[in-house]
Amino acid sequence: MLVAYELILEELAKHLETLLIESNAHWLQLHFARIYQESSKNNNLFRLQELCDNIVAKYPDIVFESENFKSLQENALISLIERDDLQMEEVKIWNHVIKWGIAQNPGLSSDPEEWSNENILTLKTTLKNCLPLIRYFQISGDDLYEYIQPYQPILEKNLWKDLVKKHMAPNRPISSVILPPRMILTTELLHKSTEPFSNFINETHAAEIASWIDKNADTYSISNIPYEFKLLLRGSRDGFTHESFWNLCDKQENLVIIIKVKDTDEILGGYNPIGWDKSKNCENASCKDCFIFSLKNGTVQNSILSRVKYTKYAIYNDFNCGPIFHSSLYMYVTCRNNRCYCYNSEKYKKLIRNESTYIDGYSYFSVEEYEIFQIHKKT
């Protein structure tokens, strides 16, 4: 897209932008940080910028907590902090803006007490377009004195006095401009405003998986699921690469793998609380809490839960393959031409596919779509 714009091939660039947004969501997700950085450099990519900004507004840590945040383009930072719906505490926005400003001036100390008048003027100039966008009156009194006061010299004239005055006597008039507060959504409202968490499992499935994780005899109700399912990776058979799996999932704990089997109603998967570790290539990993499963769906009348039987062989690490529940459920095994299959080795307690599908111990299948989630306890 960027090259096409340089060559003034605008029609081609627009076509590529549409193709990326509408047909390559998996690649966009996998390379989000890079896409966000690059798209901010070219104002012609306004659809892509808008898509990225909408995602970051709801999940700001994607950018603000990334290792590339300090190299973010100024226009990209401004487009975020000027939004009324940026879902981040105002004092955190302030702290990130200050860190970004300091990073743009190599050699500038992070301690404001060490700044010269020249340093103050330099930082004030760097942040002249950012500082007016902070919603100072959304910052609590304690945070005001802890985080804002040390940086008084870079604030506009009279702003600090007005902040103190407004904090001490909210109804007294002030001369500084007051931006409206941001629209901070509750967790419930934010959840309802976004797309479903999965393309092919629902909250009933999530409740069942959560009950298995907690080893509950009774299944949780969908209103009482104690975990949040955070998507790490999603794709189709054609979109899968071993690199993408290991880049995003290496050493990540509490992973739930979901696989939609092509040309059937089957949904297979597994839970791995300890994660896969690329540094332990071709080694087993012991875990007593792993399990694999088949979910009730369509013509599949009942879910099947199969807990690990031989805990020493629960997980297998192979960086040439996808996730492996040892001798039971395999995704994209290179030595078998990137095939997926279940294997009947009795290392897990039950078969999760119909016994008739196993030939010489192997039950091969094709993937229509897969998703990998990391679960977190809800607060």
Q: How far apart are CA 9 and CA 26, in angstroms?
A: 26
pLDDT per position as a tens digit, 318-354: 999 999 999 999 999 888 888 999 999 889 999 999 9
Q: How far apart are CA 372 and CA 376, in angstroms?
A: 13
* pLDDT above 60 for 186: no
Q: Which residue has the tokens 């904090």?
A: 167
Tell me whether strands 267-272 and 255-261 are parallel, antiparallel or unpaired: antiparallel
* pLDDT above 80 for 196: no
| Number of neighbours of residue 312 by Cβ within 10 angstroms | 12
pTM for this entry: 0.53
In percent, how much of the chain has pLDDT > 70? 95
Average pLDDT score over residue span 44-70: 83
Predicted confidence at residue 242, as pLDDT, reads 82
Q: What is the mean pLDDT of the chain?
A: 88
In percent, how much of the chain has pLDDT > 90? 51
Most confident stretch, 30-44, 150-164, 177-191, 229-243:
150-164
Residue 203 CB-half CA count within 13 A: 13
Distance of CA 357 to CAs 270, 277, 344, Å?
Answer: 19, 31, 11
Average pLDDT score over residue span 186-196: 46
* pLDDT above 90 for 180: no
pLDDT per position as a tens digit, 345-358: 889 999 999 999 99
* pLDDT above 70 for 26: no
Cβ-contact 308, 215 below 8 angstroms: no
Predicted confidence at residue 171, as pLDDT, reads 77
* pLDDT above 80 for 235: yes
Predicted confidence at residue 30, as pLDDT, reads 65
Predicted confidence at residue 239, as pLDDT, reads 63
Binning pLDDT at 50, 70 and 90, where does residue 270 land? very high
Binning pLDDT at 50, 70 and 90, where does residue 305 land? very high
* pLDDT above 60 for 187: no
Q: Poorest-confidence range of 32-41, 97-106, 115-124, 241-250?
A: 32-41
* Paired strand residues for 372: 233, 257
**In the 8-state DSSP scheme, what is residue 145?**
I
Predicted confidence at residue 193, as pLDDT, reads 41
